[in-house]
Structure 1
Amino acid sequence: MSEGKSYQDLLVWQKAVTLTSDVYKTTGFFLDEEKFSLTQQIKRSAVSVPSNIAEGWGRNTDRSFGHFLSIAKGSLYELQTQLIIANRLDYINEQTLNELDSKIVEISKMTSSLMKKLN
């Protein structure tokens, strides 16, 4: 962790916030009966990613930060799975799935890289 910087300066956090915004916009088009099941689970997974990056940063130790980055990475895989399910249920099309998935993969790689730097 670098002194004087904020978690908001981390590119991975910025990209995770953008992904979360994209997910919220996408789920706004889901069927009304989905608003309180898969939609909410997708939103929780998405918002968990930048939230855990921020929380880990706030713990002020590399070990804690690494732990929360690991949680964020798990949330990315959870989100990825839920979006695949949404696609199979025809809530999102293949293009939207691919666009969101490419962001997930990029953030996952960035998270892994950051975790390696901490070790």
Structure 2
Amino acid sequence: MNVERRLIKRYRDLEVYQTAFDAAMEIFELSKQFPKEERYSLTDQIRRSSRSVCANLGEAWRKRRYKAAFIAKLSDCQAEATETQIWLEFSVKCHYLETERARALYKSYDKILGQLVLMVKNSDQWLIH
């Protein structure tokens, strides 16, 4: 067991969770300026998918006794992170977000996806035995 893993006692301690939470909060703040006609479409979708990354990480953390369930929840996190990236692209194309702000968020989700891939690849290190 490596030193960094021993310091992680709950899902909130995970760097990937902290990055995803910060990105979701930034999306929430930015999406407040989206047009009202997007309230029940793009605004809700991007908020939901960005928050879902965090929610699924919390669920994955609680399912560490079962490798398949743990990996399935991490896979859900990856899907939600990718969905968020797609909504970011739509937000730029619809001129709701500045390209540079969206690009920075997109890169955050690339980092999140990379960390999730590593967690899946090294899932045995995270399991409760």
Query: Do both proteins adopt the same fold according to a TM-score greater than 0.5, normalized to the shorter chain?
Result: yes
Structure 2 residue 108 is matched with structure 1 residue 99: no
1:19 corresponds to? 23
**What TM-score comes out, normalization by structure 2 length?**
0.86
Contact 1:69–1:111 at 8 Å: present in 2 too? yes
Take 2:17 and 2:53, find their aligned partners in 1: how far apart are those partners? Answer: 8
Take 1:17 and 1:86, find their aligned partners in 2: how far apart are those partners? Answer: 19
2:57 corresponds to? 53
CA RMSD of aligned residues (A): 1.5
Map 1:21-40 onto structure 2 (within 5 A).
Answer: 21-40=25-44
Structure 1: gaps of 5 or more residues = none
Take 2:26 and 2:69, find their aligned partners in 1: how far apart are those partners? Answer: 28
Shift of 1:60: 3.1
Structure 2: gaps of 5 or more residues = 125-129
Larger radius of gyration: 2
4+ runs deviating over 3 angstroms: none
**Aligned residues, how many?**
118
1:117 partner amino acid: N
Identity rate, percent: 27
